[in-house]
Each structure stands twice: as C-alpha cells, then as structure tokens.
Structure 1
Amino acid sequence: MRLPRIDASPFKEGPVSVRSWFRLPAHPDRRWWIRTLLIDAGIVLLVLAAIQLVPVKRDNPPVLREPNWNSPETRALAVQACFDCHSSETDWPWYSHVAPVSWVLRYDVTEGREALDFSDWDRQLAMEPDPNQPFAPDPIDQRIEDEIRSGNMPPATYRLANPDARLTDAEKDALIDGLRQTIAQSATPAQPN
C-alpha cells in the first residue's frame, strides 16, 4: 500500500516568519509603536473594566464569642495586627472593591478565618487536634508563635498596606505572651448563662 503524496509547495519558500503572520513592518517607526501601544492599553483597560463586573462577597459574620483576653493590651495588639483576616471584624479598605485585588483580599480573609478565628472561639477550640494522635500538629499557641516569629504573620503584603501591623520585636513578644495566656485561660468553652 502506498501513502498519498503530500504537496510541499507551501513550504518551498522556507519557514514562515512571525512578521508575515502579524503584518509587522520591516522597520517599525514611531507612529506604528504609538498606535500599537495605544491598542494594547485599550485592551488592558477593557479587560480591567470587565472584571469589575465579577462580584466579590465582602462580609463580616456576627461575632459569636471571642476568647477571654488576658489583658486589653493583648486584644489591642491582636486587633492591630491580626483581626482584619482572623476575625469577623474585618475592615474592608477601598481597594477591596477593585478587582483583581478584591479577589486576593477575599481569599486571604477566608483562609485566615479558617486557620484562626478570634470571633468564633468555640469553633476554634473544637478544631484543636488531640495531642495524643500520631503526627498531631503543634498546639495552637505554638503554631501562632512560630508564624509570628518567622515573620509569616502578619504577611508582608498586609504590612505594606497597613503600617500599624508592623510590630516591633517587643510588641511581637508581648503579643505572643499575651496570646499564650489568653489561649490557656480560654481553653474551656463558654458556659451557657
């Protein structure tokens, strides 16, 4: 059986250049570059305008129960550096209404509340793993200390937009010690009244 013969005539001229696909001039002049950049800028602006139509839910559910804070200073430091992502008292800045930044902020707040939520402390206590399990994660106070000391919390992007969240070493130590005491005295769920 013989295979049909392929006509190679389109390839006789050699490889096809990118310039022929996009009709690029051999030597683009200033006017061509300006026109091209204006078209590109227009496309970018249209895309940015279109993504503003994608809704983002910015909510603050009710505060169910905060921990029994060991002192007002500990709570003040937590509010200053942690509450925007780790509570239901998020202060949504103006740029949280502008996509795609709004998508990133919503994701960060959702993830922060899942990891540690000062506004739903009973759920937080219920999520605490049994230390007798094999491969159990560190207790919550140890995880918080590790995150703060490593510089992962508050995140650098948050510190950039919120200068108040840039804690000094003394403030970090005070926050860690205060949170350890707060967690120790809040270890039991609240009793119904």
Structure 2
Amino acid sequence: MKKALRIIISLLILAFIGIQFIPVARTNPPVQVEPTWNSPRTKELFTRACADCHSNETVWPWYSKVYPVSAWIAHHVEEGREHFNINEKGFGRGYDEAAEAVEKGWMPLESYLPMHPEAKLTPEEKEELAAGLKATFDLH
C-alpha cells in the first residue's frame, strides 16, 4: 500500500511539473494610447486597482507563471482588456460600465484582492475613481 501511494504521489508530482511546460500567453501589447487623466488621483486609483487587467501594462506576478493559475490569470486579463482597455484605440468605450462596476463593488474582482490588497478601495475611493473615470473619458 505504501509503495502504491508513493508511486501515485510521484506521478502526480511529475504531472504537475509536466504541465508547467504548457504555454500561456502573458502579454503586454504595445501601448497605443494613454488617456489624458482628469487628475493624478484618478490615474493613481486606476493604476492601483484596475491597470493589471484593463491596460497593456499588466504587472505579471510570480504566481502567474505557475500552471494552472497562469491560465486562469491570463484569461482574466484577456477578458478584462476586451471589456475595457485604456491603452487601445477606442479606449473610452465602456467607461460608463467601468465606472458603474466600481461604484457597485463588482470591480476589482474579489478574487484579485487577496494577492493585491492595495487594490481594495474604500467606499470614498470607489466614488472618487468612478467620478474620475467619467470625467476622464467624457473628455475624449
């Protein structure tokens, strides 16, 4: 029984090591545009709470290189960029939905916050960021 357990554990370890070679796209495409922020505070709040998923300047943490977490994170970033990306042409589209998501507490995602506690916004910061997004993208 002990020998069988050791074999199973060894195979699981080998499988885990093997899946690390599955390629996952962790990209930062070139920045095409940069918004003219209505204030430095809006930019700071956005960078702190939103930029990893909604810009082309994602900071990929060490654990984004460990499969299967890497696939999950890459998917979230890809999805986030599709919905609202400040560094792509047409970046202002969707800003009203982004502001609403911040106001209602849907963003940043709860799953993002444990590893990024700096992204947790107070109710006042949520209001400030939502208003800042509206003001910034109403300018464009």
- TM-score, normalised to structure 1, is 0.68
Correspondence for 1:41 among 6, 9, 13: 9
Structure index of larger Rg = 1
Correspondence for 1:105 among 73, 79, 98: 73
Task: Check if 1:176 corresponds to 2:130.
Answer: yes
Work out the CA distance in 1 between the residues paired with 2:63 and 2:76. 14
Correspondence for 1:83 among 48, 51, 54: 51
Amino acid at match of 1:124: F
Work out the CA distance in 1 between the residues paired with 2:41 and 2:91. 21
Is the CA contact (8 Å cut-off) linking 2:100 and 2:130 kept in structure 1? no
- Unpaired runs of 5+ residues, structure 1, are 1-31, 129-139, 187-193
Work out the CA distance in 2 between the residues paired with 1:39 and 1:153. 44
Task: Check if 1:124 corresponds to 2:91.
Answer: yes
| Deviation of the 1:64 alpha carbon | 1.0
Q: Which runs of 4+ in 1 moved over 3 A?
A: 34-37
| Deviation of the 1:36 alpha carbon | 4.4
Aligned residue number for residue 69 of structure 1: 37
Amino acid at match of 2:105: G
Work out the CA distance in 1 between the residues paired with 2:95 and 2:54. 15
Describe the shift of the 1:185–1:141 C-alpha distance in structure 2 as closer, same or farther (beyond 3 A). Answer: same
| Deviation of the 1:153 alpha carbon | 0.8
Describe the shift of the 1:46–1:157 C-alpha distance in structure 2 as closer, same or farther (beyond 3 A). Answer: same
Q: Could you say what secondary structure the match of 1:75 adopts?
A: helix
Is the CA contact (8 Å cut-off) linking 2:42 and 2:132 kept in structure 1? yes
- TM-score, normalised to structure 2, is 0.91
Is the CA contact (8 Å cut-off) linking 2:84 and 2:95 kept in structure 1? no
- Unpaired runs of 5+ residues, structure 2, are none
Amino acid at match of 2:139: Q
Root-mean-square deviation over aligned CA pairs: 1.5
Q: How many residues align?
A: 140
- Identical positions, percent: 40
